[in-house]
Amino acid sequence: MSSDLAPTLDGLSLAGTVEKAEFSQRVLIRSIVNRPDGGEGLAGQVIRVGGWVKTGREQGKGAFAFLELNDGSCPANLQVMVDSEVYKLSDLVPRGTCIHVEGELKLPPEGTKQKIELRVLKVLHVGTVDAAKYPLPKGKISLEVLRDFSHLRSRTNLISAVARIRNALAYATHTFFQKHGFLYIHTPIITTSDCEGAGEMFQVTTLFSEAEKLVKEMKQSAVDPAALEAEIKDAELIVKEKGTAVAELKSAKASKDAIKAAVDVLKKSQEDVKKLQEKFKLLERVRLSAGLPTRDGRIDYSEDFFARQAFLTVSGQLQVETYACALSSVYTFGPTFRAENSHTSRHLAEFWMVEPEIAFADLQDDMNCAEAYVKFLCQWLLDHCFDDMELMAKNVDGTAIDRLKAVASSDFHRISYTDAVAILEKASEVKKFDNKVEWGIDLASEHERYLTDEVFKKPVIVYNYPKEIKAFYMKVNEDQKTVAAMDVLVPRIGELVGGSQREENYEVLKSRILELGLPLEPYEWYLDLRRYGTVPHSGFGLGFERMLLFATGIENIRDVIPFPRYPGRADL
């Protein structure tokens, strides 16, 4: 803390009593209210706190005010009492006001719910709020409405709790993989390879960068493409005629002045052709900048930034495999993108994926790793984020904590796709599914939830899927009908993890790429991993936002990511 605190805090040992924010002049509210005694043992301590007012009210006919202060370190608030002699109360009580204060922790009167409160001695900072214009009301506000205030919604109790839970799961992810000897690899966001082969990717291009400028120039020129081409041909004929005239004058040994005059006319005609050709090139650039084919029907990506088509990645898996084939156990954790025009509660255009890759590992190893990881995440929240989970259980889903406990302590049931379909087919005789059940389908969410919620009542790992519904890189099984793929299904959500053993056989992998109608050229580097020192390896991907949906019980995926991107929305 700064030296100006010395007179007030002299002789107090805060280090052994409350947790200070290491790089700011305050004590974290969680280190006060989250103590077993609720903070009672800290009475008499003089500290600094900072935060935002959740509620404020003047009392004693304006003689003092009570503020419920939250700094984001935990769900709980610290009650702060300020006398009117210390600061103007009307500036402090509006909801959303930011304050930084110094005061003494005191025991409140008996019979109050608070264990401790702060009596303010000095106000160090106030970020005022116009209460009439503040968009977040004191009462309840729907998560859907909150999405219109993505820059402010983290100030609400629910979204701030989601942020802490998300942070805890990210920390737990790195802890798990680092603990088990994995190396964290940063894979590219921009790629030329389509991992899924679905084609629903965002294109990365700079062809648009000068589009507005070029279009404006074209409008000012009022150029008609067909007329321009005809004008160029006419001008080229004139150049040819003028060239012939010069040649004839020279052949007839005309005067130097006559020849010079004819040459000047020829040069002027050549300049006119050049200007028209530049206009035509400008037109082609405009078409390229607008992402349209040129008049000869092509898009010239050699003019683009990367000199070829490039996209935002749908997965870091293919790239992280390159490091698995050199460093054995690796993982990547970053944003991925899908250009699906979907408005469901389970889809985002930008989302995060955790993708480990393990060399010398088969499908059984892959399933073991995925199960251990999911159980680790659940237990981590119970051990390190219980107060926020209590808030979720109270305000969102009463079964949230019990669900985490059940998954953390259960052995996941493992069943082949064929056996799972047999169970679903039998169930469909008495239960109506919206999606027909038959061997060869990609299981729908309703099928997955039926297996987890009603049949086995625990997480389920389904493995050995039909190869026709899975990606080209998955290892083909001996039956030639299925691939060594697996999905981890959890109650309420369905699929949480998707993974497989990768195809290490060069010829089989090449055949699969061609079989699915994909071009070989973008995957030549991937095939090199099979050409040069191939190794059996396996991996999986966990949708991070899906894990948050599972943990919190929140219904819409747009509410578990800080800044949701979906069709029609990309705020901030």
Per-residue pLDDT tens digits for 256-282: 888 889 999 999 999 988 888 887 776
pLDDT band at 20 (very low <50, low <70, confident <90, very high): confident
Question: What confidence tens digit (pLDDT) does each residue in 454-477 have?
Answer: 999 999 999 999 999 999 999 999
- The CA-atom distances, in angstroms, between 233 and each of 193, 227, 238, 276, 452 are 43, 10, 9, 10, 72
Q: What is the 3-state secondary structure (H, E, C) of 295-330?
A: CCCCCCHHHCCCCCCEEECCCCHHHHHHHHHHHCEE
More confident residue, 15 or 404: 404
Global pTM exceeds 0.75: yes
Q: Is the pLDDT of residue 439 over 80?
A: yes
Residue 56 pairs with which residues in a beta bridge? 67
- The CATH number that domain 3-134 falls under is 2.40.50.140
Q: Is the pLDDT of residue 123 over 80?
A: yes
State how far the Cα of 325 lies from the Cα of 504, in Å rounded to an integer: 11
Average pLDDT of the residues in 383-407: 97
State how far the Cα of 73 lies from the Cα of 21, in Å rounded to an integer: 10
Give percent of the chain with pLDDT exceeding 70. Answer: 90
State how far the Cα of 372 lies from the Cα of 176, in Å rounded to an integer: 9
Per-residue pLDDT, 219 = 60
Give percent of the chain with pLDDT exceeding 90. Answer: 73
Per-residue pLDDT, 195 = 65
More confident residue, 16 or 515: 515
Cβ neighbour number for residue 291 with a 10 Å cutoff? 12
CA 333: distance to chain centroid?
A: 10
420-425 own/partner pairs: CB under 8 Å, 24+ apart: 420/447, 420/451, 420/460, 420/462, 423/451, 423/455, 424/450, 424/451
Question: What confidence tens digit (pLDDT) does each residue in 320-359 have?
Answer: 999 999 999 999 999 999 998 888 888 999 999 999 999 9
Per-residue pLDDT, 101 = 98
Question: What confidence tens digit (pLDDT) does each residue in 38-72 have?
Answer: 999 999 999 999 999 999 999 999 999 999 999 99
Per-residue pLDDT, 223 = 60
Q: Is the pLDDT of residue 74 over 90?
A: yes
Q: Is the pLDDT of residue 12 over 80?
A: no
User: Where in the chain are the domains?
Assistant: 3-134, 157-204+309-559, 211-303
pLDDT band at 8 (very low <50, low <70, confident <90, very high): very low
Mean pLDDT estimate for the chain: 90
The CA-CA-CA angle for residues 510, 515, 520, to 5°, reads: 45
What is 157-204+309-559's CATH superfamily? Bira Bifunctional Protein; Domain 2 (3.30.930.10)
